[in-house]
Chains A and B, each alone.
Chain A
Amino acid sequence: MVHQQDSSVSNVVLNTLYNVGARDEDSERTGFAHLFEHLMFGGSLNVPSFDAAIENAGGQNNAFTTNEITNYYISVPLENVETAFWLESDRMMALNINSKSLSVQQGVVIEEFKQRCFNAPFGKLWHHIRELLYTESPYRWPTIGKEISHVENATLSNVQSFYNQFYIPQNAIVSIVGDLSLEETKSLCEKWFEPIKKDGHLNANQYTVDVPQLERRFLEANDLSPNPAVFLVWKGPSYSEAGSLELDIFADLLGGSEVSDLQQVLVKEKQICNAAECFYLRGLNEGLFILYGILNDDVSHEMVENELLETMKNFISRGNENQHVFEGIKNKAYTNLLFDQINPMNRAQKLAYFENLGNLEGINSEAELVKNLNLNDILSTAKNTFLSSNMSVIYYSPIQ
C-alpha cells in the first residue's frame, strides 16, 4: 500500500494496480487481460452491483489494461471512502464470475475491438507493429487481442483460472491519495484488504524473449487510412534502464512541437507529409521509439522513409548547436511534470506504477532527473539506438 495525504481535494482516489497484462496471455487466448478488466465490474460476493454502489457514493471509477499491467481506480468523496475500500477489496477477494456477465462483456469488448481497430484510421497499427517486431515474445499482440475470435472463445473456466492466478493480494499494489492520514489509511487497509488470503505468488514476469534483431524488418500493410504512411520503429531501453528518459526527451526534441525538425522539414519546407511525429513508449520490459510520417499526394513511401531518417541524422549531427532547443524542451518537460502532479488521479496511478517498478522513491527524483539531463548523453543514446539493424519499417497504404 502506498499513501499520500492531500488536504486540498475533496475526493479520495483508491488506485489498484495488478501485475498482469496482455503479455501474460496464452497466444491462443489473446485480449484476455482486457476482457477480464471488463468482468471486474460485474459484481462480487457481497456487492451485487459494483457501479451502482460507487454511483450511490457520489464517486466514479474506471480501469485500463496495457501489455504489462491492469490498473483500476475509484474516486469517491472523502466521507464515503469506505465504500471504495469495500468494493475494491471485495472484488479482489471473490469476484462474481458467471456466464451472463461473461457473454455480455464478450459482446461489449468485440464492439470495442471493431470500433478501435476496424473503424478508425490506422486502427490496426499496433497489430502490425507488434507482429513485425516480435516473433516469439508475448509482446507480439496488442492489448485488445490478436483477433476477435480469441475474445469470442473465452470460457468461464479460462476466466476463473486467470482470476485465481493473477487477482491475488500478492500481485496487487494499492495506492491512496486524498485527505486521509496515514493512520486512517492503514486502518482501512487492515480492515478491508489484510484479511484477504489467497494462494499464489507475485507474477514472476518471466517471458519468452525474441532472438535479437539483426537486420531491417519490413512490412506492407493495407488498412483503413485516408493517406499512405511510413512508420519506423526501434526497440530501446526499459523504463528503469539508462537511456529511457533520454529517448523520451529526444522524441520531444525531434518532433515534439510545431517547429521541431520533423515538422519544419517534412511538413513545412518539403511538404511531403501532412503529419510527421515521433514518440518513445516507455515499457517495463523495453521501450519502442516510433517515428512516422503521413504522406501527401504523389509522394512515395521510399522518399518519406529516407527523409525521416535524414532529418533525424541531421539533427543528431548538429550536436551542441541544438543546445538552445534542448534547454527549451527540458524546461517544458519539467513544467509538464509539475502540472501532471496536480491531478490526484495521476499521482495515485504514478505512485502505484513506481512501486511496481520497485522504485517508489523514483517518483520524487523524476523532476531532478529531467533537470540534470545533458544533450550529449541524449545524442549519444540516440546514435546507439537508431541503428538500421534494429529498425522495423511499415509502409501503410489505404485499402481501396
Chain B
Amino acid sequence: MSQDFRNIAPKTRTIKSFPVPQIQESSIAEGQRHFISHTESLGVVKIQLWFPHGISEQPASFVGSTAYELLTSGGNGKTEKEIIDYIDHLGANVQLDCELYGATATVRCSKDSAIKVMKWIYETIISCEYPEREFENYKLIKRASIERKMQTPQYWSGRMATENYYGKDHLLGKHGTLESVDQLSRAEVIAFHTKHIHPGKSMLLVAGDCDEQLAKDLLSIHQSYFQERFDLKIGDANIDSNRQFSDILKHELPNSTQVSLQLIKHIGNLPENDLHKFTLLNMVLGGYFGSRLMQEIREEKGLTYGIGSYFRPAMDGRTWIISGEMNSENGQLALDCVVEIMNQLRSQPVESEELEKAKRYYSGQFRSGFDGPFSAASKIQQKIMRNNSDTFFETTLEHIWNITPEQILLVAQNYLDPNSFIKSMAGKVK
C-alpha cells in the first residue's frame, strides 16, 4: 500500500472558541460566594477552603506558612496522630498551602465521606494549639529542607535576583533563611492563627461528584461557621519597572558543575487586553518548547537541558522570570544568547507563522485546561486571585486571536529591555 499520504500533514483546526464549563455559584451569609463544579467523577470530590490571609500578613518569615502547615498538629485534647489517623481512616488526603495572598486547605476524599471529613477538618482548624513538640520538630524539618535547597544553584540565582531587585525587606524580595527558622516563635504562630485562620473566613470551592444534596450539606456546614466575608486584599508592589541594571550578580558554589542563570523584572497590573499580548510575547520568548529560548539555546546549540520564561504572580502584578541551567563554561554564552533574543523581539515583528503557532498552541492548552472535573475549580480560583473579569475565560481566545505581530513588537519594546532585568548567576561561575 502506498504511503504517499504521509507526505502531507493532516489538516489541523484552530480552536477559537469553546463552551467554557459552567460553575454553580452559591452565596450564604452577607453574600459570601462559594463555587461548586459538578461532574461525574468516580465518587470522589475535591473540596477547598480558601483563606484570604497569607504570607503578606505575617510579622516575620515563616510565621504564616507554619501556621497553615501545622493546622493538623493537635489541639482541644486531640493529638496530631489522632487527627491524621481519623482523616486516613476516612480515606482522605489533606494538603495545606500558604501563598503570598491567601492559603488553601485542599481535601481529596470520597463523596461518601466528605461530610464527616469536613466536620473534622473545621474543628481541627479552629482548635489547633500548635503543641510545643510538633512545633519544634517542624522547625528541625524546615531547617533541613532549606539546607538542601541551599546546595542547589537554582536557589541562589533566584534568591540573589529577587533580593536585589525588590530589596531584602520588600515582601517580594524577602527570603526565609536558616536564621529565620531559628527565630520562629510559637507565640507568633498562635497569634497569626487567632487573628487570621478560621474556616468562617474562608471561601468554599467544591469540584467532582458533588450532587445537590452534598452541595447543600457542605454549604450548610460552612454557613454554620460563618464569621466574615472573604476579602482578598492585594497590595501594590510599588516598583519602578524601568530601572536599569548593568552588573551581573554572582554566587559561587564550589561543588557545582553547572551555572544557574536568572533574569527577572516586575510587571505591574495590566489591563486584560494587554495581559493577553504579554502572554503571547512570553510564549514566543520562552513559554513553551517551540519558543525562541528553547529552540535556539537548547535545540540548536545544545547548551542546556531546560531554559524558559514565565510569570509568577506577585502582588498587584507578576514577576517575569527567565531561567535556565547550563555547563559553567557556557553561562556567559547562554546569557548573551538570551539578551540577543530579547533584542530581536524588540527590533522586528515576530513572523506571522511563529505567532500563529504560539496562538494555536496556547488555544489548545487553554481549552484542555478545563478538562477533567477538578480543573474548572482551579480556574475559578485563578480568576478570583488575579481579579479577572467575569467574562475573562469566554473572551480570552478572541483576544488572543486578534493580536498582531506589531502589537507584540510594541509590548516587547516597552517591557523587554534586557537592561531592565536584573541578572544573576550561581554555581560554578566563570
Contact = CB atoms under 8 A, between A and B. Distances in A.
Interface in B121-169: 133-134, 137, 140-141, 143-145, 147-148, 150-153
A384 B357 CA distance: 57
Contact of B147 (A226, A264, A335): A226
Contact of A119 (B85, B90, B152): B152
A268 B134 contact: yes
Residue among B39, B81, B288, B356 having the largest count of chain A Cβ atoms under 10 Å:
B81
B92 interface: yes
Interface stretch (A76-84, A243-251, A373-381): A76-84
A387 interface: no
Contacts of B145: 274
B367 interface: yes
A58 B360 contact: yes
Nearest to A118: B257
A58 B325 contact: no
B195 interface: no
A339 B44 contact: yes
Interface string A235-276: 000000000000000000000011100001001100100110
A111 B140 CA distance: 33
B258 interface: yes
A258 B84 contact: yes
A226 B150 contact: yes
A56 interface: yes
Interface string B305-325: 100000000000000000001
A121 B42 contact: no
A52 B290 contact: yes
Interface residues of B, number: 80
A55 B360 contact: yes
Interface string B89-100: 111110000000
A100 to B, nearest CB: 9
A119 B257 contact: yes
B35 interface: no
Contacts of A219: none
B141 A267 contact: yes
Nearest to B73: A258
A399 B9 CA distance: 53
B72 A258 contact: yes
A225 B151 contact: yes
Contact of A10 (B3, B326, B367): B367
B84 A55 contact: no
Contact of B372 (A9, A328, A335): A9
A195 interface: yes
Given A55-B357, A104-B302, A328-B88, A11 B325 contact: no
Nearest to B81: A259
Given A55-B361, A77-B367, A267-B141, A111 B258 contact: yes
Given A11-B371, A119-B258, A342-B42, A195 B12 contact: no
B325 A104 contact: no
Contacts of A79: 12-13, 15
A115 interface: yes
Interface stretch (B293-301, B343-351, B382-390): B293-301
A342 B44 contact: yes
Interface in A184-214: 191, 195
Nearest to B146: A226
A143 interface: no
A263 to B, nearest CB: 9
A119 B144 contact: no
Interface string A73-95: 00111011011011001100100
A77 B150 CA distance: 41
A121 B150 CA distance: 9
A274 B140 contact: yes
B65 interface: no
A328 B152 contact: no
Interface in A323-350: 324-325, 327-329, 331-332, 334-336, 338-339, 341-344
Given A51-B290, A83-B10, A331 B91 contact: yes
B365 A82 contact: no
A58 B258 CA distance: 34
A164 interface: no
A296 B258 contact: no
B110 interface: yes
A362 interface: no
B302 A114 contact: no
A329 B88 contact: yes
Contacts of B413: none
B93 A294 contact: no
B305 A115 contact: yes
A330 B346 CA distance: 57
Contacts of A303: none
A120 interface: yes
Given A111-B327, A267-B141, A332 B91 contact: yes
B242 interface: no
Contact of B144 (A53, A60, A226): A226
B414 to A, nearest CB: 26
A257 B84 contact: yes
B3 A111 contact: no
Contacts of A110: 327
A84 B399 CA distance: 27
A341 B257 contact: no
A335 B90 CA distance: 9
A336 B93 contact: yes
A104 B298 CA distance: 8
Interface in B254-268: 255-258
A119 B427 contact: yes
A319 interface: no
A264 B13 CA distance: 56
Contacts of A258: 72, 80, 84
A8 B40 contact: yes
A255 B255 CA distance: 32
30 contacts: A8-B372, A11-B368, A56-B357, A57-B360, A58-B361, A59-B364, A60-B364, A80-B12, A83-B12, A86-B9, A90-B6, A104-B299, A119-B257, A195-B3, A225-B151, A226-B144, A226-B151, A257-B84, A259-B81, A268-B137, A274-B140, A325-B85, A328-B90, A331-B88, A331-B91, A332-B91, A332-B93, A342-B372, A342-B373, A399-B255
Q: Which 10 A-B pairs have the closest CB atoms?
A: A58-B364, A107-B302, A331-B91, A328-B88, A226-B147, A274-B144, A82-B10, A104-B302, A112-B305, A328-B89
Interface of A: 8-11, 45-47, 51-53, 55-60, 75-77, 79-80, 82-83, 85-86, 89-90, 93, 103-112, 114-115, 118-121, 191, 195, 224-227, 257-259, 264, 267-268, 271, 274-275, 294, 296, 324-325, 327-329, 331-332, 334-336, 338-339, 341-344, 399
Given A119-B152, A195-B3, 18 more contacts: A8-B40, A8-B371, A10-B368, A46-B6, A53-B9, A77-B15, A83-B9, A107-B302, A108-B305, A109-B305, A118-B257, A225-B151, A258-B72, A271-B137, A325-B88, A328-B88, A332-B88, A339-B44
